[in-house]
Chains A and B, each alone.
Chain A
Amino acid sequence: MESIGVLLMCPMYSYLEQELQSRFNLFKLWQQPPSKIPEFLKSNQRTIKAVVSNARVGADAQLIDSLPNLEIVASFSVGFDKIDLKRCEEKGIRVTNTPDVLTDDVADLGIALILAVLRKICPCDGFVRSGKWKDGDFGLSTKQFSSKPVGIVGLGRIGSAIAKRAQAFGCSISYHSRTQKPLKHYKYYDNIVDLAKNCSILVVACSLTDETRHIVNREVIDALGPRGILINVGRGAHVDEPELVSALLEGRLAGAGLDVYEDEPEVPDPLLRLDNVLLLPHVGSDTVETCNSMADLVLANLEAHFNSRPLPTPVI
């Protein structure tokens, strides 16, 4: 298989990189100066049969078109919003992702974001580290999580895992989803504004599509209200970021916990000074255990494809 060219879109995970290096003819896109990329792709277009992408760098139409022998795009992520699925489908290119193995990590982080925002864990930690505790108590009142109403946008694998955890804290669960799920003891709302009106913690955990772009807009933020908090473990583009920022600055929203942003790794400057927000650098599935599992899944998909076996986790 050493002759099969695999294009790695950006640095992702050293174990994955090493394995790809040993099993395939690995090309690292980021090692090319941007101006040389078209030339680089042209000279290697016969060899490159696979692309490994992730949540940040995908495979757009331009890239796909410049690789005429491309057979498979394997994403080191569960989201595939940065892959031009339509173009892949037109050209018969397979696309795979990494569902399930990262569900727990993302759900764990979702709860961490809620707790950290409500209970002001990071400001508390900063308070102690600055030496201020000796001069007086922390003072700022924190808010209880247990028993609060939680609203989840998207009740897929990750949304369900978040719901299960929140229930253990005594929280009531409501959700908005493309379709109502028959089994759960969760209240369904067929529109996100009603969901926001009826919860105090709104969690975004759906996939990014044309329909869900900016699904959290001004109207939803207003419905969530000045005592509500927004948690985003989906994609930055789920939220109208400038609206979110002004809502937080103006006190129209009580707080936010964000792992994703519209233009990563850029985080809106005003947020950096607020103590009622938690800002994480897209670490949703960033544990050693999960990255190993994700990498193994990417490799399994590639191996299966090039050995003409059924793909473990195909998107198309």
Chain B
Amino acid sequence: MAVTGTNQSPPALSATAHDGDDSLPVVLIHRFPTFTGSLFPSLPTHFRLLDLLTTDASNLQSASAILCVGPPPPVTPEFLDRFPSLKIVVCSSVGVDHVDLPECRQRGIVVTNAGSAFAEDVADYAVALLIDVLRRVSAADRYVRAGSWPVKGDYPLGSKVSGKRVGILGLGRIGSAIATRLAAFGCQIRYSSRKEKPSLPFPFYKTALDLAANSDVLIACCALTDETFHVINGEVMTVLGKQGVIINVGRGSLVDEKELVEFLLRGDLGGAGLDVFEDEPHVPKELFALDNVVLSPHSAVVTPESIGTLQDVVIGNLKAFFAGQPLISPVID
């Protein structure tokens, strides 16, 4: 979605960029026009924020820093062309698949992400989704609220979490936090990652297919890249098996969503817990009737604590940049 000028002015950000203190370093705010949420409240104390969608074009020439807010807006070569002095793109997400990283590298523009601001909350959420799918937590809650317990009797049995073989796709900060948590449940952790991590006690598998062949559950929490696009495909789902469960807290496109829906409808997969989808906020309607599926509106990061830590990381990266000091969470390609 290109950020182009329109005839009407886009709705303003709620805690908006203001042409405030001239002495503060300038940071351009990049967002989808539909995102009008409030910005990090402490930002204006440190920086002069200019909303790209409303500010004067003359401000773009000299600006060295851009901050992406809200649902990650694309950073394409055409976009970068508008900012000849740009040196840093600060993202408020962990995923940077919306940024053309090779292009940034070529232009000497450094990119930072949310670092470990979300790791714990996303890990907690992944574990929550997994237990929910296996133990039918949300479905059983619906059962009670519908008044079915006194009428229909006991809810059907679920599947035990402890002891399951859990395959984690991507053992970064989030994947490691998930591993720590599920290990305490007696789950058998194994993983696949770009590089093996010999210091960790978990079996490593080179491919998602091998991982699936040795797991009861797959948890997708790796970055979305050309290599990982649809890494969980029909073949992986077949090998995972009819009792297999897929949890996705990464990016929707890590999973071939169309295949996933068909596998679930046919009963060729045991269940799924999804916080992300290929075309948010659109979710395949066929999933709504399934009790072995738990759906979530990309909420894994939304806790006050995460948002607070995220603000610290964003401000920390920007301050370090302007002071010529090492960045907190640069994305190393």
A residues in contact (CB < 8 Å) with B: 11, 104-105, 107-109, 111-113, 115-116, 119-122, 124-129, 133-134, 137-138, 141-147, 164-165, 167-170, 264-267, 272, 278-283, 286-291
Contact = CB atoms under 8 A, between A and B. Distances in A.
Interface string B112-136: 0000000011011101110110111
Sort A-B residue pairs by CB-CB distance and give the 6 closest, nearest first. A168-B184, A115-B128, A104-B162, A146-B120, A128-B295, A265-B149
A112 B158 contact: no
B155 to A, nearest CB: 5
Contacts of B296: 121, 124-125, 128
B285 to A, nearest CB: 8
A170 B120 contact: yes
A144 B120 contact: yes
A291 B32 CA distance: 51
A108 B157 contact: no
Contacts of B145: 272, 279
B159 A267 contact: no
Contacts of B132: 112, 116, 121
A53 to B, nearest CB: 15
A283 B135 contact: yes
Contacts of B150: 265-266
Contacts of B128: 112, 115-116, 119, 121
Contacts of B183: 168
Given A115-B127, A168-B184, A283 B155 contact: yes
Nearest to B296: A124
Interface in B137-167: 137-138, 140-145, 147, 149-150, 153-155, 157-163
Contacts of A119: 124-125, 128, 299, 303
Contacts of B186: 104
Contacts of B125: 115, 119
A144 B119 CA distance: 11
Interface string B287-302: 0100000111101001
B137 A121 contact: yes
A217 to B, nearest CB: 24
A109 B184 contact: no
A57 B184 CA distance: 33
A29 to B, nearest CB: 16
B19 interface: no
Nearest to B177: A146
A122 B138 contact: yes
Contact of B303 (A105, A124, A143): A143
Given A267-B149, A280-B137, A144 B124 contact: yes
Contacts of A133: 280-281, 283, 297
A278 B141 contact: yes
Contact of A146 (B124, B149, B283, B302): B124
Given A280-B140, A286-B155, A287-B159, A141 B302 contact: yes
B121 A128 contact: no
B120 A115 contact: no
Nearest to A137: B297
Interface in B294-321: 294-297, 299, 302-306
B76 interface: no
Most chain B C-beta atoms within 10 Å of own C-beta, residue among A127, A137, A266, A290? A137
